[in-house]
Structure 1
């Protein structure tokens, strides 16, 4: 359970209807196998000890007594293994029959949760046999032990403070107000649903939607275990559609019509982090719940779940195209409003032949087109200097011309050399003054051109650069509207590629493709043999790593050790641990040291769940110490 990870399973075993010995044997074997596989929580289907389709056999005392005896055996099987199991059975309490989920752990029955919503429609007739359960917790005696009985039970463990388990049963999820809502609001981070949902056409799609939706709106892990092969097929077929979801994402799912055990790790720290960020998510009603302690060990949980190395970029082509169009629309609509509000006559964009300025100009063109303003009112300014290569210069010129905007060239070498003379800087010393003087000269030109033409300077800097402070203060750091401020570097490449694939202009397509192939560089140092000598990722590190770090820091508040652990999984075979750790240290040092640049950012649209605007998502003091983060990094 290290870093909040808990390894969970959803299992459907072969059963025989009403054969409790056979079913119990298979359940115990599945528990033992799961424990060997380091599973800490395993969930079985509804009424799995007897079978869901027993019909009026549920009214036979011998079956009910046998189910109770089986439960005791199953609990005993957990005595010497570090696992908690949730199983379904019929249970009689105070002469009333209930459809229950039993939680067993450490050789004991820790609790019985009755089903609250008993279906009695279409193919379901549970009311014929079962009584609606109650939220209030009472106690029943099983094998000489007092066992909590009721829906309002939270199962916790000292091994992981974020592990809080609650249970609902099948139909409970399908109702307008599922019990899991109150469970989660009382603090449950994991919801186990033992179910017997039969198959009809397209029901699996609706079932998946319910599980994903519930896990998303409750910020929880949701383990759904479904009845499968072995149930009676007199009128119905059960397919064992098992799912494990986390915050709206299905992490593991079984193949239907084939009894399986699926497993993955739930990230409970991540879920709690999401809850902490949402001030509309408030823990209420916990006083109505009984807490039951589970005996569990911490241990190192091996991460087998998929960890996306590009969390800002959808891996699916269709989703990525849809996302690209949506982001470009957000950016251009934001700029459209600003242009309209200020009655700007022009927009001024500095174009360098790099990705950021390319995206900024593409967005500006979209905004002008939607306002029905002539593209000639967009002034694209290319400002070659000491580090400019023929490749980037030609790409900037061809790009602007292919879009039909007004291209203006201002060579800034003489102006920068004059500035060097004014401040007595040796032009042969390639230091930060040498570099930043060029960036500030370019910004001065853009601002003055905008003033002269009655327009706005459109910022080109992206969110990744802002996170690292890889921008010249009062240079490219400043603009009148920063359209890329919410877009990370790893995503910009795909946005430009999307526009390249959409266009029918061959020159534009070819130019965009070459821009995509050009190394990322500020081009502030002289080229070597006509080629770019200053490559950003050689200086500050790979942007794919920094974007990964940024996502997990901002989105979930993860600590350095956990981010490193996740990065090792995501970038396995690409970067080794030492390289990842080296750039992680650079990321934290720069992220804290460069906050002052983010504190005075110009306006710009938020496009995703992570943003750095000082007026919105990230309000951090510019002089905050990063000592405790650095201290942990040194222990890794």
Structure 2
């Protein structure tokens, strides 16, 4: 059986455009002689559609689109379509809605399979909208028995997770025991570092465990904070790789699930990227889709002469084109000469438009207007933050006047500890590096420079500084970044206690300071721009902590 894999980038809510893209791929699959074309989870709506699913008018549009696909299936009598969509169903109790895969062909719906396992952890909240399927059964099609599952249904393999099982069912086993001859999983699995390899091993384990070919189709593209990397694949019943779609871009592939991997019978090698390359490509896609799907074509970045703004500018230039990114340097009385000149060189290397707007006069005007009110009080972080807020207002003025989206540049280490200024450097419509630890920012810089110096070495080698007071350095306030990032990894992503982290060899005083600072900075993060997720636990939608609390 020839199966077409349609690794597509749907736009959330744009049902008509998603249908049009599907029909184009369907036509291509029919011309190639495929018996079936497979799309990703909730493809018609794009994933995640969130509370759009609670709007009756939205579901009405989905049903109309499905009716249209049923009619169009008569145009491709030899090629059926398997597509993900929300589906109303009659249920005496529950939400009355399923996350479904629909097999359509010959002018009718041949099979409906609802998702069995509904994730409610991290960024997922599917039990808010859907009811789980009571069972999973294969369907006869084209001389095969198709075992159709949806995303999370494939993630409860007891052999793969011997000590971590969230559910008491294994839908893949149910399908295999029910007589499936081909397993198909449609998915919307977000990117995070290391997940690509885990996903491949999981799918391969299913194929080997049951001796069945496995076709896996994942969404690609970015929607809000989430980046979907694609990486769709097909394996034979021995676990040999038949086909693998590239990461971070749309693709179309035809695979014959009953044939050997190639003429020699030698399986293809699974292709993965190193950490810096995968995060780089993920962030580029995240920027491109966030702006494009929100109706923006240009971005503005404040260039401080530091590594965070430099990396952000490079990512934006690759995502949008250099001509569509404006870099602005805003020196204050405490800015070094290098902060401007290094930024100018970076902009020249990228061919990015560049402006210098000094803020010293504005800063002194602020101080003069506040002087009588602050009389008798020492200079402190208040005066430092004034500079950041002047810069934020300046950048927002360019955003408003010229329609550029402002990209904020703070990294995860800063966001974690509150080493950032509300309404200052936190201003913006998208926080590009908010889930990228400082140590990884340096890795990204080296990756960007892999074929030549784009980011000047002076930017990479200088000691990090906010330059808001004389001779200021980040390490005056923060622990060394390698130490800080290691503690943050253990506390935020692994959920370890202070005692457990100290037991790993970190100084108790440093650990307590980091944890206290993380906890008391929650109110800042609640007001931050959406940030692109690349780690296992990002601030924002996947980490829901109270603000008014003591713990």
State the Cα deviation string for residues 92-119 of structure 1 (Å, max 9, x = none). Answer: xxxxxxxxxxxxxxxxxxxxxxxxxxxx
Kept after mapping to 1: 8 A contact 2:297/2:320:
no
Distance 1:321 1:500, change over 3 A: farther
What aligned pairs does 1:120-199 form with structure 2 within 5 A after superposition?
A: none
Structure 1 residue 417, shift from structure 2 partner: 0.6
CA RMSD after TM alignment: 3.1
Structure 1 residue 392, shift from structure 2 partner: 2.1
* Aligned: 1:422 with 2:369: yes
Structure 1 residue 363, shift from structure 2 partner: 0.8
Query: What SS class does the counterpart of residue 486 from structure 1 fall into?
Result: coil
Distance 1:558 1:413, change over 3 A: same
Counterpart of 2:287 (choices 335, 340, 344) is: 335
Counterpart of 2:549 (choices 617, 620, 624) is: 624
Distance 1:564 1:366, change over 3 A: same
Counterparts of 1:600 and 1:386 in 2: how far apart (Å)?
28
Structure 1 counterpart of 2:402: 453
Counterparts of 1:457 and 1:331 in 2: how far apart (Å)?
16
Kept after mapping to 2: 8 A contact 1:540/1:586:
no
Kept after mapping to 1: 8 A contact 2:305/2:339:
yes
* Aligned: 1:390 with 2:327: no
Kept after mapping to 2: 8 A contact 1:350/1:381:
yes
Query: What SS class does the counterpart of residue 502 from structure 1 fall into?
Result: coil
Structure 2 counterpart of 1:541: 479
State the Cα deviation string for residues 499-553 of structure 1 (Å, max 9, x = none). Answer: 11223xx5x35x1x22111101100013xxxxxx111112122122221111111
Kept after mapping to 2: 8 A contact 1:345/1:453:
no
Structure 2 counterpart of 1:132: none
Structure 1 counterpart of 2:508: 581
Query: What SS class does the counterpart of residue 349 from structure 2 fall into?
Result: helix
Kept after mapping to 1: 8 A contact 2:491/2:515:
no
Distance 1:330 1:429, change over 3 A: same
Counterparts of 1:186 and 1:363 in 2: how far apart (Å)?
37
Structure 1 residue 395, shift from structure 2 partner: 0.7
* Aligned: 1:444 with 2:393: yes
Counterparts of 1:521 and 1:467 in 2: how far apart (Å)?
17
* Aligned: 1:367 with 2:319: yes
Counterpart of 1:485 (choices 431, 434, 441) is: 434
TM-score where L is the length of structure 2: 0.50
* Aligned: 1:525 with 2:525: no
Kept after mapping to 2: 8 A contact 1:593/1:623:
no
Kept after mapping to 2: 8 A contact 1:439/1:476:
yes
Query: What SS class does the counterpart of residue 274 from structure 2 fall into?
Result: helix
Counterparts of 2:478 and 2:276 in 1: how far apart (Å)?
26
Structure 1 residue 594, shift from structure 2 partner: 0.8
TM-score where L is the length of structure 1: 0.44
Structure 2 counterpart of 1:529: none
Structure 2 counterpart of 1:411: 358
Structure 2 counterpart of 1:268: none
Which runs of 5 or more residues in structure 1 are unaligned? 1-175, 188-211, 218-318, 370-374, 527-532, 569-576, 627-636
Runs of 4+ in 1 over 3 A off after TM superposition: 176-187, 425-430
Question: Which structure has the larger Rg?
Answer: 1
Distance 1:423 1:553, change over 3 A: same
Kept after mapping to 2: 8 A contact 1:592/1:624:
no
Counterparts of 2:159 and 2:295 in 1: how far apart (Å)?
54
Kept after mapping to 1: 8 A contact 2:301/2:406:
yes
Counterpart of 1:468 (choices 407, 413, 417) is: 417
Kept after mapping to 2: 8 A contact 1:480/1:602:
yes
Structure 1 residue 451, shift from structure 2 partner: 1.1
* Aligned: 1:591 with 2:518: yes
Structure 1 residue 468, shift from structure 2 partner: 0.1
Counterparts of 2:319 and 2:287 in 1: how far apart (Å)?
6
Kept after mapping to 2: 8 A contact 1:349/1:380:
yes
